[in-house]
């Protein structure tokens, strides 16, 4: 029989291959990967890095068969040399993860280094020229990774992001024993998978990349989960149809992204005698619900109640006699980079949102612990324990709010550290520190009379009234040693627009004050604190720092520290 269809339709197009690889296979042999000049620099935030590391750590802890990390698109550059068209942020972060493993697991150093560098120490992943030498020195050279996390200043924002990423990775893994770290390394290198697409020509890669990012909407975890749960539900066909409509209605109301977020936080909320595995493990998820006879409960009750709670939280639309205060605190919490408080808040609102006084106390407590952690007064592991305990408490007032033992009470040491941290200098020029300064002022502004509560991406900038580097008028008032302290106190900062900030420069206080309060410019509550101030000596910065501390303590229901 003649097969002439290839002649009619054309042969399979060449120049494009695709295969699924684990991390070890992908980073093996003599293959070298280059970040082309047209690519943006490394820009992953603390949030991005933390999510990646925590995601595959969770997959490892639950014994997952694999963790799929997405698509990598490469374009031929030379023999065994490829440009990274898509995936450089993930590959850069994973290289830093491997560098941590290499430097801590000295007995396996060569294994990890072979993934980081090819023969003769040449880097396997080569970044853009501005960051190439920095990355090679701190990451791709053995025994230097720990110093990356400790850098106070870097030459570029992308290098600052790398320093923050190194700190996130180190903090996430530091408490693992060597045996646990080896086991995690085996999982990460053997079961973390990519779909690697290689194109011989840039035009083909551009077509693939555009299609992956812009065309169509793939079947989501939500679609797969709905089908699996409805198949296993002990319900009549009519009941299944109603449950499917209820599911689709909630997905429409939340939107596809937020509905996916609801399913992702489900394991943290939906607890019982067994630890529920993540929705991404479809078989384990449905099996866990079946074992607990909870499939029908999930479809007909749990999903709608918790979906409505998430709608109210994301929309800052909680109702009741304390609605303004609760929604203000939710808006403040949404400023934070880490949204680990969300599962606990959804759980509480789904079950106890109608208890208005309790809801008011709950969100005040969440606000306190979340920001006390940002101020490093509460340790991250203690914050995570509190969030889990809050879900377990299931609305019990004593367990949540007791002055000494409650989930939302500070220990004497934590309370002391919080006061001291607010009153101490905040130094550091890394991108994360600049963002933290802005968050601190936005949080202060939110609890002042008439103060706005801004969204995290608001177009604001932090103005150092006393400039960090001084100036002609300032050098007469402050010695360099005094400026090194007072310029970094929270009482020396205010919020203004970027345009105002550029005009202020390092001019004197009288000039700056005219710009702060000029007609037609926004004046925020945190700036109105200095409306009647005519000069800016040390005692004024000390006074305002104390005022800020007192305002925050009152808003969190703490007795202000004596001054």
202, containing H or E segment = helix 202-214
514 φ, ψ (degrees, to nearest 5): -65, -40
CA dist list (Å): 135 to 105, 125, 380: 20, 9, 28
Evaluate whether 529 touches 544 at the Cβ level (below 8 Å): yes
DSSP state of 560: P
- pLDDT at residue 148 is higher than 90: yes
Measure the CA–CA gap between 416 and 401, rounded to whole angstroms: 19
Evaluate whether 258 touches 314 at the Cβ level (below 8 Å): yes
Supply the pLDDT for residue 408: 96
Each domain of the chain, given as residue ranges in start order, spans 16-214, 220-314, 316-420, 424-555
Q: Using DSSP, state whether 195 is helix, strand or coil.
A: strand
Supply the pLDDT for residue 16: 76
Evaluate whether 125 touches 33 at the Cβ level (below 8 Å): yes
pLDDT in tens, 376-406: 899 988 998 999 899 999 999 999 999 999 9
Supply the pLDDT for residue 274: 42
Q: Using DSSP, state whether 4 is helix, strand or coil.
A: coil
Measure the CA–CA gap between 309 and 254, rounded to whole angstroms: 11
Which residue spans within 385-500 are E strands per DSSP? Answer: 461-464, 493-496
DSSP state of 216: -
Q: What single string gives the DSSP state of each residue in 244-304?
A: HHHHHHHHHHH-HHHHHHHHHHHHHHS-SSSPPPPTTSHHHHHHHHHHTT-HHHIIIIIHH
Residues sharing a CB contact under 8 Å with residue 194, sequence separation 6 or more, in sequence order: 20, 21, 22, 23, 26, 68, 69, 70, 71, 72, 87
Q: Give, to the nearest 10 degrees, the angle between helix 356-374 and helix 380-393.
A: 170
- pLDDT at residue 130 is higher than 90: no
Average pLDDT over residues 96-104: 96
Measure the CA–CA gap between 424 and 550, rounded to whole angstroms: 14
* Residues listed for the chain: 563
Burial 513-522 (b: 16+ CB within 10 A, else e): bebbeeeeee
Q: Are strands 125-126 and 192-199 parallel, antiparallel or unpaired?
A: unpaired
Measure the CA–CA gap between 121 and 476, rounded to whole angstroms: 53
Among 11, 21, 202, smallest CA distance to 94 is for 21
Look up tokens 């339709």; give the residue.
9
| Banded model confidence at residue 63, pLDDT cuts 50, 70, 90 | confident
DSSP state of 319: -
- Write out 486-548 in H/E/C secondary structure: HCCCHHHEEEECHHHHHHHCCCCHHHHHHHHCCCCCCCCHHHHCCCCCCCCCHHHHHHHHHHH
Alpha helix ranges (H) inside 14-156: 23-26, 46-61, 88-104, 109-116, 129-138, 145-148
Average pLDDT over residues 93-103: 95
Environment class of 8 (CB within 10 Å of its CB; exposed 0-12, middle 13-18, buried 19+): exposed
Among 493, 481, 473, smallest CA distance to 540 is for 493
- HSE (CB half, 13 Å, CA atoms) of 22? 12
Higher pLDDT, 527 or 284: 527
446 φ, ψ (degrees, to nearest 5): -70, -20
pLDDT in tens, 247-280: 989 988 998 888 888 887 887 776 543 454 554 5
Among 301, 280, 161, smallest CA distance to 228 is for 280
Supply the pLDDT for residue 209: 54
Environment class of 280 (CB within 10 Å of its CB; exposed 0-12, middle 13-18, buried 19+): buried
The most confident of the ranges 248-262, 336-350, 547-561 is 336-350
Supply the pLDDT for residue 358: 97
Average pLDDT over residues 139-143: 94
Measure the CA–CA gap between 346 and 206, rounded to whole angstroms: 41
Higher pLDDT, 213 or 286: 286
Supply the pLDDT for residue 552: 95
Among 296, 220, 232, 215, smallest CA distance to 262 is for 220
pLDDT in tens, 415-460: 999 999 999 998 765 556 777 888 999 999 999 999 999 887 777 8
For CA atoms 473, 476, 482, 486, the dihedral sign is: negative
- pLDDT at residue 217 is higher than 50: no
Among 547, 481, 473, 539, smallest CA distance to 512 is for 473
């Amino acid at each position: 029989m003649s097969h002439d269809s290839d002649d009619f339709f054309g042969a399979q197009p060449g120049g494009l291959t695709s295969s699924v690889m684990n991390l070890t296979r992908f980073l093996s042999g003599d293959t070298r990967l280059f970040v082309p000049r047209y690519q943006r620099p490394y820009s992953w935030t603390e949030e991005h890095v933390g999510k990646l590391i925590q995601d595959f750590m969770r997959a490892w802890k639950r014994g997952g068969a694999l963790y799929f990390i997405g698509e990598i698109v490469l374009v031929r550059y030379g023999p065994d040399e490829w440009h990274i068209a898509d995936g450089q942020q993930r590959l850069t972060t994973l290289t830093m993860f491997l560098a941590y493993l290499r430097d801590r697991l000295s007995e396996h150093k060569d294994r990890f280094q072979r993934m980081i560098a090819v023969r003769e120490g040449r880097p396997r992943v080569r970044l853009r020229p501005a960051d190439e030498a920095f990355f090679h020195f701190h990451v791709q050279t053995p025994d230097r990774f720990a110093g990356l996390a400790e850098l106070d200043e870097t030459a570029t924002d992308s290098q600052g992001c790398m320093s923050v990423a190194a700190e996130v990775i180190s903090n996430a893994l530091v408490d693992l024993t060597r045996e646990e770290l080896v086991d995690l390394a085996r999982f990460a290198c053997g079961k973390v998978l990519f779909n690697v697409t290689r194109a011989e020509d840039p035009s083909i890669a551009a077509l693939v990349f555009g299609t992956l990012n812009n065309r169509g909407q793939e079947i989501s975890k939500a679609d797969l989960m709905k089908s699996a749960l409805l198949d296993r539900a002990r319900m009549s066909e009519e009941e299944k149809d109603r449950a499917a409509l209820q599911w689709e209605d909630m997905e429409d109301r939340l939107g596809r992204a937020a509905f996916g977020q609801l399913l992702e936080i489900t394991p943290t909320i939906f607890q019982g005698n067994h630890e529920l595995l993540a929705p991404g493990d479809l078989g384990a998820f449905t099996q866990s619900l079946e074992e607990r006879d909870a499939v029908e409960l999930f479809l007909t009750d749990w999903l709608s109640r918790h979906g409505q709670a998430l709608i109210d939280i994301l929309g800052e639309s909680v109702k009741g006699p304390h609605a303004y205060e609760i929604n203000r605190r939710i808006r403040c919490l949404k400023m934070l980079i880490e949204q680990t408080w969300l599962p606990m808040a959804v759980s509480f609102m789904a079950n106890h949102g109608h208890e208005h006084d309790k809801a008011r106390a709950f969100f005040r407590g969440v606000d306190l612990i979340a920001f006390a952690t940002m101020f490093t007064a509460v340790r991250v592991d203690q914050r995570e324990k509190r969030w889990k305990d809050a879900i377990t408490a299931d609305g019990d007032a004593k367990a949540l709010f007791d002055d000494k033992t409650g989930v939302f009470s500070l220990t004497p040491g934590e309370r002391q550290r919080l006061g001291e941290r607010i009153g101490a200098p905040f130094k550091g020029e890394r991108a994360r520190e600049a963002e933290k300064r802005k968050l601190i002022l936005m949080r202060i502004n939110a609890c002042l009379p008439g103060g706005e509560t801004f969204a995290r991406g608001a177009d604001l900038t932090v103005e150092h009234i006393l400039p960090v580097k001084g100036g002609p008028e300032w050098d007469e008032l402050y010695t360099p040693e005094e400026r090194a302290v007072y310029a970094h106190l929270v009482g020396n900062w205010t919020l203004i627009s970027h345009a105002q900030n550029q005009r202020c420069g390092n001019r004197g206080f009288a000039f700056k004050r005219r710009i702060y309060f000029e007609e037609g410019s926004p004046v925020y509550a945190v700036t109105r604190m200095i409306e009647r101030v005519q000069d800016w000596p040390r005692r004024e910065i000390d006074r305002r720092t104390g005022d800020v501390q007192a305002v925050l303590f009152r808003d969190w229901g703490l007795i202000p520290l004596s001054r």
